[in-house]
């Protein structure tokens, strides 16, 4: 059951002494080599150039034809792949993790699954079963990563539901569960029971084939959760598009019934909340209350949201209301409100409630650290921070050096699979890459300082 841990926190927390605002002025870059800083500057400048992101896949194919796959591969490894990806082999991933740990940062591995290919419908379950193997290997890899004695903490990894269940199924389930009055057939408890028993679930809105796929998907999700629980790895489930998110949340709620119960000790399956959606704060409040009522632990990854352009395009095409906030400022206000609510929950419910502040935004990170101090939440407690590998190191390093738990989301895998994934993520996060100007300015200033041999 959720209990109040506030008193404990105010004794053990960071609230002794004054709150020191973190400095995101690039001071922490002194921890990085000149080569790394130069590559980061070059790659971030290239990624902020819209034609490169828009035509990334075509340019890659063209460079392969012109330079041959070896040379073009070497160029990518020295630039984009090297900046944003841990590597391909276990040794390469471990090497990357050791470098992060030396800087006070932790790994959050992510299997870079692309959107379900058109052929998935024809290959039946095989594509999803292949992804299941990749997820189980990711659990193994996460568990087996070297641990730094100074950085003991929780092991986390990301999970994308649409790698294990088809987008089509999630879309159909979403249309069904968002209809008023028809959702009782699809309660989290019923799905959890089907996951556990392996008995065939029959849902009236689905045809025989879809019911079979649902059963197979539930079994895959449960296998990953069970294995992750055994290996002490927490699963952070990604949020995707609004036309499938309700189904994803239902599946996460079913996993939570089984894996976030008090006897399991702490949330093993977390959901992601996207502040750019108008209804997110309300959903977060409702879900937290439901978890509290059911005596379940509650884990949240809080993000602004990555699919803005597509969400707006879809609502425009369908003539429906745009589900996203009207502008960037409204999204930031929503993020701040969700953050405040979650931190207050954490301060009241302690280890039963966990939060990842997944943002590169300096203001959001500052707000989180200040409120953690005011609420007496310890730095090594249930609140952590998340940023992408190769992005906003000035924020991650400053947080890590100040003793906060910071995870870098790390994709890994072979060049051929990861580059299309990276290009698509860059297209989705165009505004973020273009907004990385401050990071570029800080990198450039540090490089000039080194070049001129100036000690500041
Ligand atoms: C560890 C980690 C995990 C993540 N997991 C997910 C996930 O599961 N699902 C997901 O969707 N995203 C995920 N993201 C991406 C995230 O949602 C953001 O796209 C990204 O972090 C940029 O937001 P920010 O707060 O870091 O930076 P900022 O630069 O402060 O914010 C940029 C964001 O603001 C919003 N925005 C920009 N312009 C407008 C506008 N005109 N109107 C309204 N809103 C606007 C968009 O959400 C945009 O991404 C993850 C990010 C991290 C670091």
Q: Report residue 302: phi and psi, to 5°.
A: -105, 120
For residue 31, pLDDT over 50 is answered with yes
Of the candidates 109, 88, 107, 87, the one whose C-alpha atom is nearest the C-alpha of residue 147 is: 107
Instruction: Tell me how far the alpha carbon of residue 248 lies from the centroid of ligand 1, in angstroms.
Output: 19
* Nearest atom of ligand 1 to the alpha carbon of 237: 8
Residues 6+ apart with CB under 8 A from 353: 2, 267, 288, 297, 298, 299, 300, 342, 345, 346, 382
Two tokens at 327? 């502008």
Q: Does the CB atom of residue 321 touch ligand 1 within 6 A? A: no
**Ligand 1 touching residue 271 (CB < 6 A):** no
Give 78-129 pLDDT, tens digit per residue. 888 999 999 999 999 999 999 999 999 999 999 988 766 555 555 689 999 9
Token output for 371:
């409120």
Residues in Cβ contact with 18 at an 8 Å cutoff, skipping those fewer than 6 apart:
none
Token output for 301: 């990854």
DSSP symbol at 277: B
Stretch (H or E) spanning 439: helix 437-451
Backbone phi, then psi, for 130, in 5-degree steps?
Answer: -60, -40
Question: Chain centroid to CA 6: how far?
Answer: 27
Q: Is the Cα dihedral 205, 308, 163, 218 positive or negative? A: negative
Residue with the bigger pLDDT between 236 and 195: it is: 236
* pLDDT tens sequence across 402-412: 999 999 999 99
305 and 239 Cβ atoms separated by less than 8 Å: yes
Per-residue tokens: 141: 């890899």
Condensed to tens digits (0 to 9), the pLDDT of residues 136-152 reads 999 999 998 877 766 66
Can you tell me the mean pLDDT for 437-447?
A: 91
Q: Does the Cβ of 228 fall within 6 Å of ligand 1? A: no
pLDDT score, position 10: 35
Structure tokens at 36: 């790394």
pLDDT band at 6 (very low <50, low <70, confident <90, very high): very low
Give the model's confidence band at 11: pLDDT under 50 very low, under 70 low, under 90 confident, else very high: very low
308 has a pLDDT exceeding 80? yes
326 contact partners, CB below 8 Å, separation of at least 6: none
Q: What 8-state DSSP symbol labels residue 50?
A: H
Which one is predicted more confidently, 275 or 20? 275
Helical H segments across 112-178, by residue range? 120-123, 126-144, 167-177
Number of the ligand 1 atom closest to the C-alpha atom of 325 = 43
Q: How far apart are CA 110 and CA 76, in angstroms?
A: 20
Is the CB of 359 inside a 6 Å radius of any atom of ligand 1? yes
Transcribe 81-97 into DSSP letters. Answer: HHHH---SSHHHHHHHH
Identify the pLDDT of residue 301.
98
Closest ligand 1 atom to 392 CA: 26
Instruction: Check if 73 has its Cβ closer than 6 Å to any atom of ligand 1.
Output: no
Helix, strand, coil content of the chain in percent (nearest 5): 60, 10, 30
């Amino acid at each position: 059951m959720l209990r109040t841990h506030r008193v404990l926190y105010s004794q053990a927390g960071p609230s002794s002494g004054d709150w020191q605002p973190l400095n995101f002025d690039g001071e922490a870059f002194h921890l990085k080599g000149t080569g790394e800083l130069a590559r980061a500057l070059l790659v971030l400048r290239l990624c902020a150039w819209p034609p490169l992101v828009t035509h990334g896949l075509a340019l890659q194919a063209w460079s392969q034809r012109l330079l041959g796959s070896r040379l073009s591969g070497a160029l990518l490894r020295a630039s984009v792949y090297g900046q944003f990806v841990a590597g391909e082999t276990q040794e390469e991933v471990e090497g990357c993790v050791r470098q992060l740990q030396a800087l006070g940062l932790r790994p959050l591995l992510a299997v870079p699954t692309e959107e379900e290919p058109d052929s998935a419908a024809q290959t039946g379950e095989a594509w999803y079963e292949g992804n299941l193997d990749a997820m189980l290997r990711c659990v193994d890899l996460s568990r087996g990563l070297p641990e730094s004695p100074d950085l003991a903490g929780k092991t986390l990894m990301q999970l994308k539901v649409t790698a294990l269940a088809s987008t089509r199924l999630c879309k159909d389930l979403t249309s069904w569960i968002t209809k008023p009055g028809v959702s009782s057939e699809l309660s989290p408890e019923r799905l959890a029971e089907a996951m556990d028993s392996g008995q065939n679930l029959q849902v009236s809105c689905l045809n025989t084939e879809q019911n079979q796929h649902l059963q197979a998907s539930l079994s895959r999700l449960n296998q990953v959760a069970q294995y992750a629980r055994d290996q002490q790895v927490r699963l952070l489930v990604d949020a995707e598009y609004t036309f499938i998110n309700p189904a994803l949340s239902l599946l996460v709620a079913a996993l939570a019934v089984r894996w976030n119960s008090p006897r399991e000790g702490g949330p093993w399956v977390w959901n992601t909340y996207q502040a750019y959606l108008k209804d997110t704060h309300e959903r977060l409040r409702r879900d937290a209350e439901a978890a509290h009522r059911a005596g379940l632990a509650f884990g949240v990854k809080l993000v602004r949201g990555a699919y803005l352009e597509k969400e707006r395009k879809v609502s425009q095409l369908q003539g429906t209301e745009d589900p996203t906030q009207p502008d960037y400022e409204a999204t930031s206000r929503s993020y701040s409100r969700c953050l405040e609510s979650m931190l207050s929950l954490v301060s009241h419910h302690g280890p039963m409630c966990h939060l990842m502040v997944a943002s590169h935004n300096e203001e959001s990170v500052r707000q989180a650290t200040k409120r953690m101090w005011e609420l007496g939440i310890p730095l090594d407690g249930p609140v952590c921070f998340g940023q992408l590998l190769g992005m906003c190191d000035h924020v991650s390093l400053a947080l890590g050096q100040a003793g906060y738990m910071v995870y870098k989301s790390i994709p890994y895998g072979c060049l051929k699979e990861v580059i299309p994934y990276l290009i698509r993520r860059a297209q989705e996060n165009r505004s973020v890459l273009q907004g990385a100007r401050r990071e570029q300015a800080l990198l450039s200033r540090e490089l000039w300082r080194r070049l001129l041999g100036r000690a500041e």
